[in-house]
Structure 1
């Protein structure tokens, strides 16, 4: 395991299922996404299973680890894993589907409320001795646009029901039964941008969705709207977002992910964004509650045990399975 914050219950589960558990000794404040190729190969030498956080799982890395059978992400994103290489090399890649949906949906609501009610600006003023009241905005009876109605998007819909909002959704797949039961209206992206007071992104990062929120699309958002991104940094061109916030086109933003996570050259943009008084920022921490981490730890561990026992994890957890192609090659 190269991720921090692993609970004793999940370690016991792995040991009870015949695994020898080795935790990487990471310095305080360091995540596995900062480990080099050599550090990873050294830590993973001889390992059959790997529970990973944010490390880049490249073809070169997997080729250097012939004993490695399963890579299990403690999370649901897999844009840092070369899935084709995993399949080619006979590896299985899993995600902890369902483990952190509730935590991220809760965090999203928190970002909406914090931006709308101007918590950061108000507290900063109070610390400076200025107790003047800043006028915020309700989430109640607003229009909320959700881009991506997967597990987290659906959890968000359930939480929004108590705010009596109108919900607009953009998703390639339409679940009309869910929509009818939850008062959701499927629309095109342009309609969602034009009509939503809050826009929350919950789409995966792919070649097609990268920078789906750019200067052009952000300009189409309702003036005074709030943008929430608790999905992936590359979905939003943070440079365009910064311009829209500074110009006043957008009222604020709640950000848990940033472009600089994958593109260090944009670090200065991130630093300017998080200094803005109308931005509430967290360091990709939406899923990091005690309960959420315990759930995702266990799902990730269950996937490892299933693969090492020659079984197949739940379909929602498997994003690449190279075992069939490897068996064919052996034959």
Structure 2
């Protein structure tokens, strides 16, 4: 092995050949973990992660927990690069204290997640799931749906994905309400956006789409009280993070007709197995459209996030700094 070769371990599926070639061209030996079918790196015990990562200089990670103990046991590891944009499972204080760098793949999956949110809105409004189930049972009668065209869409969190959603909603001539950080008067005026309180957004929106990070302040932002403020004809879309929504409260609201339906790509049970029965009950409802945290997982979206994650790794291993939007913790002196 050349002395310039750096060892990069990938614990994600669907890591494309072009990105592997990019890493190799930049002096990296690439090891893609052979995970059992149906298993993600978030399912691996710390001991298993340690075995995979011993001697690694860079780690391209999915949903594994990056803890102080794990990092301390991996002295060669210089950079942790998420193929994704959430970082709540990374101990950022430990990254800084131990002199490492943690990055996200900012900008890689914005379009894919925004497309997914639109798809869920259309599927719910036009009652695709219910119609197909009826047809399979021999009932071909028409169910009356509703348009996305000229509806009011509330967006909670106006980051990169939220802005991609705004761009797509222009074609539907939607009225767009926004709640959350990142006010930009020029952007709001150019895109006909109104910044409103959470209560105003919930009361007025036909669709409420979540695009906020999961923090102590946003945990269970959507709960029994906030669901009760929504229209009974409204739909909730969560392509962001499990934990933004109290899934038990959502289940009760859907059963009781408090809201009309939900499009769910993320669930509390992803981080808390005790919620698995609640997730299964949500999946069984006819007015729920669900996917297994797959909003970012288009072929094109994964290729983009793979490349951004790999570019972050190379930058750090070369002693440089990745783009500011990608760096979430930098412990280098």
Normalising by the smaller structure, the TM-score range is over 0.9
Alignment counterpart, residue 201 of structure 1, candidates 181, 201, 210: 210
Per the alignment, residue 54 of structure 1 pairs with 63
Query: 5+ unaligned residues in a row in structure 2: which ranges?
Result: 1-9
Alignment counterpart, residue 16 of structure 1, candidates 25, 31, 42: 25
RMSD (Å) for aligned C-alpha atoms: 0.6
SS in structure 2 at match of 1:167:
strand
Alignment counterpart, residue 331 of structure 2, candidates 313, 322, 331: 322
Per the alignment, residue 44 of structure 1 pairs with 53
Deviations 1:218-272 (A, max 9, x none): 1111222100000001000000100110001110000000011111101100000
Runs of 4+ aligned residues of structure 1 deviating over 2 Å after TM superposition are none
Per the alignment, residue 177 of structure 2 pairs with 168
1:73 and 2:78 matched: no
User: How far apart are residue 172 of structure 1 and its match?
Assistant: 2.0
Alignment counterpart, residue 86 of structure 1, candidates 56, 71, 95: 95
Using structure 2 for the length normalisation, give the TM-score. Answer: 0.97
SS in structure 2 at match of 1:51:
strand
How many Å separate the matches in 2 of 1:62 and 1:125? 52
8 A contact 2:67–2:90 mirrored in 1: yes
User: How far apart are residue 173 of structure 1 and its match?
Assistant: 2.3
1:127 and 2:136 matched: yes
SS in structure 2 at match of 1:234:
coil
Question: More deviation in 57-66 or 143-152?
Answer: 57-66
How many Å separate the matches in 2 of 1:297 and 1:280? 27
Alignment counterpart, residue 320 of structure 2, candidates 301, 305, 311: 311
How many Å separate the matches in 2 of 1:166 and 1:121? 27
Per the alignment, residue 5 of structure 2 pairs with none
SS in structure 1 at match of 2:131:
helix
> What does 1:1-331 align with in structure 2 at a 5 Å threshold?
1-324=10-333
How many Å separate the matches in 2 of 1:152 and 1:220? 25
Using structure 1 for the length normalisation, give the TM-score. Answer: 0.97
The number of equivalent residue pairs is 324
